[in-house]
Homo-oligomer: A and B are copies of this chain.
Amino acid sequence: MYKHMPMNREETKRVKLIIEYDGSNYHGFQVQKNAHTIQAELEKAIIRLTGEKVSLIAAGRTDAGVHALGQVVAFDTASRIPPERWKYALNSVLPFDIRVRESTYVDRDFHPRFHAQSKIYHYIIYRQEKGAVFYRRYAWVNTDPLDIEEMKRAAGYIIGTHDFRSFCSSGSPVKNFTRTVKRLEITDRFPFLLLKIEADGFLYNMVRIITGTLAEIGKGDYPAQAMKDILKARDRKRAGATAPPQGLYLIEVKY
């Protein structure tokens, strides 16, 4: 057993995992004192397999209730488990709402967050009462009549390189609020409304605030063009409410 043994960096390898999880029962990704988190479950599973106490790094620290289909995490190990076996070994000890989809060994300098070229998030709105009991954990149940075309026009202002301070929750430690949104697509598949957004990086709650603002525009609270002024204002108070976490999915991290 290597339990809690200090590892010689020369002997370790870096493992990259692509994981999916249902965030419903967790207080988000990142380890917090006395809270049930995805990271804590993964680190517990690794201890069970190898005895190693690792520090796991993730591409995105998703909040409580947020889901993932393509979260990327990395950690170092001295164990001799073949790369593809990590997937099966971890899935045999992980809870059923966290699954490893892929496991590989990567370059020891690989960093899941710093090396990400872009990330893709999806946000799902469920637009009717019927069947809503099945989507409370997996979508934002919003039965307002929405003007989708107006929302698409507003989304157009978001695409590109901007200072997104208006779309960042307070308390964020970042200094640079400039991000590039490469894609923001709105797909109407009633009863679902699907938002797909790709950017080189995201500020804290950025997707949820953009979604909340778009929903208010869809509802007619203000016109699509207001999005331009909201961006320019660089003031969180000018944007709409933060959409709930249940509808948000980290879909893919590109390197």
Interface residues, chain A, with chain B CB atoms under 8 Å away: 20-22, 67, 69, 96-99, 101, 129-134, 136, 138
Q: State whether A133 touches B101 (Cβ < 8 A).
A: no
Are A136's CB and B69's CB within 8 A?
Answer: no
Which residues in B have their C-beta under 8 angstroms from that of A99? 129, 132-133
Which 5 pairs across A and B sit closest by C-beta, in order of nearness? Answer: A22-B133, A97-B133, A20-B133, A99-B133, A22-B134
User: Could you say which of B22, B98, B101, B130 contacts A129, with CB atoms under 8 Å apart?
Assistant: B101
Count the copies: 2
| B131 adjacent to A69 (CB under 8 Å) | yes
Do B129 and A96 have beta carbons less than 8 Å apart? no
Interface of A is mostly: mixed
Bound-complex Cα distance A133 to B38 (A): 13
Q: Check if A67 sits within 8 Å of B132, measured CB to CB.
A: no
B97, B98, B101, B130: the one within 8 Å of A20 (CB)? B130
* Cα distance, A130 to B68, chains bound together (Å): 11
Q: Determine the chain B residues whose CB is within 8 A of the CB of A130 once the complex forms.
A: 20, 69, 101
**Complex CA–CA separation, A97 to B137 (angstroms):** 10
Q: Are B133 and A21 in contact (CB under 8 A)?
A: yes
